[in-house]
Structure 1
């Protein structure tokens, strides 16, 4: 190295002499000098003592069973030669950063770090900058940070240095895919024993960075939550007059590590019962109790919301829609998607089921982002309580998705308030509302009105719905309502409003069947209950006799989708209609129905058929000629096995589409 330095000094002397004579040094000479300085700095940094691990301050997970178990999972993966990239993911505030900080600090022991020559930590963050991350790596490796150096040149220096190391790189808080080559990180080979750990709120980000294994960090259970909460709140949480309230405050944190720490610390030393009750009320109302809650819990989760993207669709509004349902409520995925379609949040594709599938893919995207999770029942989803609080908080501040939500709070009547003219969605689910106001409540932009679960409600006054000219989704199921008001048909005539089409309606059997059965098709076609070629939505009707009546009208060729839902009434007559464009039929709880149709040509474009509790139907109106459009048949296996067929070819061609319920 000494000879090279002498050579460098000699070249510099010649350059200075040449400049004195008016000469300019050749670019190759200047480049050689720069490369020499880079190599010299690298050699010096390698020779300089660099700690294998730098301790990172943070809360310990000692005594936390779930977190300790996750830590052991990651440690085991570090010892697995087939795993080079590990993704640690979970919703904001659940403890991902705390987990990897504890991992980093645990690796301070010599035996733990044996496979690695250095552990490198870099924080990426949402509004990340490649240069800033490179600077963190340079400083950790004792490499010079050069002002004005291009990112490409920095990446080259980092790559040369890291090639000489068996490193573990921890990238914390990653929000989008990172090009590791562009960053300057060598692509690890098995013999190098180099590994990368990243933390992210999104499983999709982990997949894009091609992680080999993912470890999901879940919320703490009730016992561990209380333990962490009291560690931060102190002995005051266990005082006799405080503990019952403190227990409820702890539950409102829903097992989120960050929320438990922040809320607990904010209540430390507060012995006044009123202060604890105020905190509990604020948490239950989805209002940030302290600035720390807003900044460190709500805002990180809002960042997840802000970064949502799915094929150009309005996934953010779809997410906010879920907050209309009660806390811990299992939402049927298909019902949710139908509401999204009705609101225009999911693209209307040529085939209705394609739109449903697009919506289901969107649900999966929200689950991968930790903003939705599996519900308690099959094919359902729910929101984590804190995520729901955040979504309500966002919706209340949104000019486009403003919502009014009072669900499950025991209301016996609608509150006497004046709705904001900008409110888009209203939900009074699962209350005890007995009556609705019989006067005009101006809600010009409300597109969804959810009133299901109000069992004492028996009447919808004529004047009530006239205040909702933009209504697209109306749910009156699980109420005592017997008939639908005629004003439902007059919504399109509201002064100054465009025609209304209620695209998704869910009603009691009595309301749906009685009203629809006794009304002419044209009236309901205009109001949007029955889909047409212009309004190809999924309608809800009550009995097969209605399908027959509809098909006999002049509009039978326009009907594309009719869904039979939940009625205990027997069909008066079997369907013998011809509805050539019908694509989807769902038949539930009509035990006396014995046949769908006597004419196979009735089902020229049918793609989906679902039959539940129809054990008396012995024959389907299909032949080898009209069975080629079918894509799915759902029903009980016993029902399918006892069906009668005109020929075995038809049965064989349809067998592949049968899905037992």
Structure 2
């Protein structure tokens, strides 16, 4: 019944358009015919509404191509696409598919009815109304498609803080490790130093501390870089950036430092580990904020020299890492070399090796 009434209304509206609306304009008809004014208006503006939809869809497809180019580039860089961008692309795909079907159906609306005497007013009304509904959706998508960026960097899963295969927390290390972890929890301490002769296992200890700090959720992130005797600031910056999933566009050390500094400041609590320091390293030059510049940033340093840590790097607290005891060194050596060291013909040689290394086996 409703369909019949709509058909009658559309036919009546068609006549009104042919003989009344065209001469005097739709605004006056809307005032004059109230209840069927919307039907008359949709039919009157049928071609205009259809053309408006086509223009909006064309603009939307151009914007979609631009966004897809950004998405494709982000994918090549190993970045994750923002969820709102994915949702927007899906919505654009749906409305463009719907518009494509609309334009196919629209062709049938051109056919005339009643032995070719009159246009199909009912179809024109329905399509005109549908066109304006889709125009509204397309306009909203055009507004929402103004993305400053479409992706975000994914922090790579770095194995530096994974459980260390073969690592054993010896009694001689446990006390030091426990004290350092307690200091990491102390908000008043910003720079912590660890020192000891080469080969005693400082690097292994640092990695285990970093892993434990992440596991205990003391920090949002932990980054680590090796300084070496001849430090390369760009290399240090690069190692830290890799852990953060940060890519540098700048070529200069100063430019990269500014970029790195801003990225580190975005982390509310972060631990920066710098290993193998031989002399003063300018943290500002590298781009590591600390102290008042970023109170949530702690720095854990390792060096062979206590003087380097205390005097040149301003470490507030330092911890010594000594060699393993004879018993610990033997246990570790046997684990690494296998049960063959228990062979009477080899045992004396094995003991000599352990003594010669003076307990410095964690580096082997």
1:131 to 234, 254, 267: 234
Aligned partners of 1:60 and 1:98 also within 8 Å: no
SS in 2 for 1:106: helix
Determine the C-alpha separation between the residues in 1 that align with 2:326 and 2:161. 28
Aligned partners of 1:51 and 1:118 also within 8 Å: no
Determine the C-alpha separation between the residues in 2 that align with 1:120 and 1:191. 15
Question: 1:186 is matched with which residue?
Answer: 289
Over residues 490-546 of structure 1, what are the superposed CA-to-partner deviations in whole Å (9 max), with x where a residue is unaligned?
xxxxxxxxxxxxxxxxxxxxxxxxxxxxxxxxxxxxxxxxxxxxxxxxxxxxxxxxx
Q: Give the deviation of 1:51 after TM superposition.
A: 6.1
2:351 to 241, 247, 254: 247
Question: 1:81 is matched with which residue?
Answer: 187
1:152 to 254, 270, 274: 254
Question: 1:116 is matched with which residue?
Answer: 219
Aligned partners of 1:52 and 1:108 also within 8 Å: no
Question: 1:205 is matched with which residue?
Answer: 308
Aligned partners of 1:87 and 1:198 also within 8 Å: yes
Question: 1:62 is matched with which residue?
Answer: 168
Aligned partners of 1:52 and 1:118 also within 8 Å: no
Determine the C-alpha separation between the residues in 2 that align with 1:190 and 1:122. 20
Determine the C-alpha separation between the residues in 2 that align with 1:49 and 1:88. 31
Q: Which structure carries more relative contact order (alpha carbon 8 Å, separation 6+)? A: 2
Structure 1 residues 160 and 79, CA gap change in structure 2 (3 angstroms): same
Q: Give the deviation of 1:141 after TM superposition.
A: 1.8
Is 1:162 the counterpart of 2:264 in the alignment?
yes
Question: 1:104 is matched with which residue?
Answer: 210
Determine the C-alpha separation between the residues in 2 that align with 1:118 and 1:247. 42
Over residues 55-96 of structure 1, what are the superposed CA-to-partner deviations in whole Å (9 max), with x where a residue is unaligned?
446554424111222221211110111211111111111111
Under a length normalisation based on structure 1, what TM-score does the superposition of the two structures give?
0.31
Question: 1:373 is matched with which residue?
Answer: none
Max radius of gyration: which structure?
Answer: 2
Aligned partners of 2:341 and 2:350 also within 8 Å: yes
Question: 1:226 is matched with which residue?
Answer: 330
SS in 2 for 1:121: strand
Over residues 537-570 of structure 1, what are the superposed CA-to-partner deviations in whole Å (9 max), with x where a residue is unaligned?
xxxxxxxxxxxxxxxxxxxxxxxxxxxxxxxxxx
Structure 1 residues 178 and 107, CA gap change in structure 2 (3 angstroms): same
Determine the C-alpha separation between the residues in 2 that align with 1:119 and 1:88. 17
SS in 2 for 1:145: coil
Determine the C-alpha separation between the residues in 2 that align with 1:75 and 1:61. 18
Question: 1:238 is matched with which residue?
Answer: 342
Q: Give the deviation of 1:139 after TM superposition.
A: 2.1
Structure 1 residues 234 and 54, CA gap change in structure 2 (3 angstroms): closer
Q: What are the ranges of 5 or more consecutive residues in structure 2 without an aligned counterpart?
A: 1-62, 67-147
Coordinate RMSD, CA, aligned? 2.6
- In terms of fraction of residues, the more helix-rich structure is 2
